[in-house]
Amino acid sequence: MPRVKRMKVVVTFPSTVQALKMEQCCKRDGLDGRLIPVPKQISAGCGMAWAAVPDSKTALEIMISQEGIEVEGVYELLL
């Protein structure tokens, strides 16, 4: 059975260090999501991206700003 695609917020990073910092901060703050390979629709410097449900976009952006995490982009994609 084919996997059902859903809308996701995808955050890309310039380095693996920033991607791992994102993962650490999200786990600490209880924000759902996971690291994934960068989707083929976009490109990023490190090849890793954070994917989460669209409802968490605002909370993620606030956390990114507060923690000083460097991002290349924040996208909404059907994955």
Place of tokens 């999200």: 26
Contact of 39 with 49, CB cutoff 8 Å: yes
How far out from the chain centre does Cα 30 lie? 14
Question: What confidence tier does 1 reach under pLDDT thresholds 50, 70, 90?
Answer: confident
Place of tokens 């996701």: 8
| pLDDT averaged over every residue in the chain | 95
- 3-state SS, one letter per residue, for 4-62: CCCEEEEEECCCHHHHHHHHHHHHHHCCCCEEEECCCCCCCCCCEEEEECHHHHHHHHH
| Domains of the chain as residue ranges with CATH | 7-78 (3.30.70.260)
pLDDT of the residue at 16: 95
* pTM exceeding the 0.85 threshold for the entire prediction: yes
